[in-house]
Structure 1
Amino acid sequence: MYFKKHMAEELPQGNPDVLKELLIYKMPFGKYKDRLIKELPVSYLEWFAQKGFPPGKLGMLLQTMYEIRLNGLEYLLHGLKNKR
């Protein structure tokens, strides 16, 4: 019981506003300009993961979307979309 309690305390708390941004933020440049970040192909996100994500908010959102796809967590976005 001690282990479970302390593990839960150590888990990072996510920011739900970041997930909401993925529903409305559009790619500002490149081949997928004006496409929502959540709709970008995984191959594009993988390319950024290899080459480096851009700085700032865009990079953070792209990296978050990459991690969501990598870990099969897309359902987190579907749940938000249904609540809008």
Structure 2
Amino acid sequence: MVQAGGVAGEQLRSYIERIERLEEEKKGIAEDIKEVYAGAKAVGFDVKILRKVVAIRKMDQADRQEQEALLEVYLHAIEGGQIPEPTE
């Protein structure tokens, strides 16, 4: 094993190459996700809302409930104690 300045060159190269491969895979997956969102948009779905739904589904139940409660409190506070009724 060749060492330069105390660093094992082959081992380091192996890590770097693995990281590079994973970065390429990540780039490919990001492109795939982008295409799925584009497909959803093409059939009329709101991509901004889809992204929000995906983010919410990633949260555990406790974090989700806490965020919803805080959102309600903040809305209540800025609207003078009144949460407007949804319009139909």
Same fold? TM cut 0.5? no
User: Which gives a bigger RCO, structure 1 or 2 (Cα 8 Å, sep 6+)?
Assistant: 1
TM norm structure 1: 0.30
Answer 1 or 2: which has greater strand percent: 2
Structure showing greater Rg? 2
